[in-house]
């Protein structure tokens, strides 16, 4: 969507605060021994208290309020009661929701407790690359150049990117144009970021895989060559200068 009025901006700020705070509190609530369903139910309760409705449930009838991906799961992990969180796990929580006709999306990967498996460098690279990418976004910038930046920064850090997952426009629905804000350079994409547009920008930084593949459950994505992936995501408004980060309260850069 494009922000055309003060009410548009206020609506986007309200739903972005809801998903941002839900993500932040879910990260703080997560404990070893807890099931993903327990963590997800807590997130669902938070959204409900804030008046928001789970976007994956509304849009896709997803079996959870949020997506919780653990270790080798790249994205769209089902928050089941059989998925038990353990010390040192690489966990990704993706929270998106709707409120009063406005939609927002954010996510973040983190290590639960002690970093026994040495995932923290991957997490830090993903956060750093997202921050750098967002700092370069303004009206008129080619979308493909942001993909080039993300891919180059990942390579410099010794990582790959997931090439078939992307950020996207958002606002009046969960996924809007532009649909392919990729983590890599696509010379065919001549689109540019537009001032006042709302977009969800996300990194998918990988240790081994370059593509995500859907599993038999119809939801969970795993890497085509194994390894681990860290994802971080903010929803923002494009300006002619520094973007307005609507989900800054999620604290993923802290």
Q: Mark the binding-site residues for a divalent metal cation, compressed into ranges.
A: 94, 105, 168, 202, 233
Going by the annotation, the residues of the binding site for substrate are 76, 175
C-alpha angle with apex 107: 105 to 239, nearest 5 degrees? 55
- Interatomic CA distance for residues 24 and 9, integer angstroms: 22
Cis peptide before 178 (omega within 30 of 0): yes
Which residue ranges are tagged as binding site?
76, 94, 105, 168, 175, 202, 233
Contacts of 156 (CB under 8 A, 6+ apart): none
Residues near 119 by Cβ (< 8 Å), separated by ≥ 6?
A: 88, 90, 111, 228, 230
The first and second tokens of residue 28, run together, are 């703080």
Question: How far is Cα 65 from Cα 53, in angstroms, rounded to an integer?
Answer: 8
Spatial distance between the Cα atoms of 56 and 161, rounded to a whole number of angstroms: 24
Token match 């099931």: residue? 35
DSSP state of 208: S
The contacts of residue 128 (CB under 8 Å, 6+ apart) are 153, 157
Contact 206, 125 (CB under 8 A): no
């Amino acid at each position: 969507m494009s922000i055309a009025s003060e009410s548009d901006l206020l609506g986007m700020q309200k739903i972005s605060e809801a998903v941002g705070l839900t993500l932040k509190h879910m990260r703080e609530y997560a404990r070893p021994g807890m099931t993903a369903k327990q963590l997800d139910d807590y997130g669902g309760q938070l959204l409900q208290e804030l008046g928001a409705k789970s976007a994956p449930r509304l849009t896709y009838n997803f079996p959870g309020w949020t997506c919780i991906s653990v270790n080798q799961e790249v994205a769209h992990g089902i928050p089941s009661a059989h998925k038990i969180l353990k010390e040192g796990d690489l966990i990704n929580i993706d929270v998106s929701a709707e409120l009063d006709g406005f939609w927002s999306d954010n996510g973040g990967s983190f290590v639960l407790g002690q970093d026994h498996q040495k995932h923290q460098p991957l997490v830090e690279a993903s956060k750093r690359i997202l921050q750098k990418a967002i700092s370069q976004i303004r009206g008129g910038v080619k979308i493909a150049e942001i993909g080039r930046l993300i891919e180059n920064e990942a390579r410099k850090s010794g990582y790959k990117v997931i090439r078939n997952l992307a950020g996207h426009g958002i606002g009046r629905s969960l996924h809007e144009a532009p649909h392919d804000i990729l983590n890599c350079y696509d010379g065919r994409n001549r689109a540019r970021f537009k001032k006042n547009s709302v977009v969800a920008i996300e990194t998918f930084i990988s240790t081994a895989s370059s593509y995500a593949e859907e599993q038999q459950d119809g939801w969970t994505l795993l890497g085509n060559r194994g390894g681990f992936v860290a994802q971080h995501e903010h929803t923002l408004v494009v300006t002619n200068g520094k973007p307005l980060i609507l989900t800054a309260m999620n604290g993923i850069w802290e």
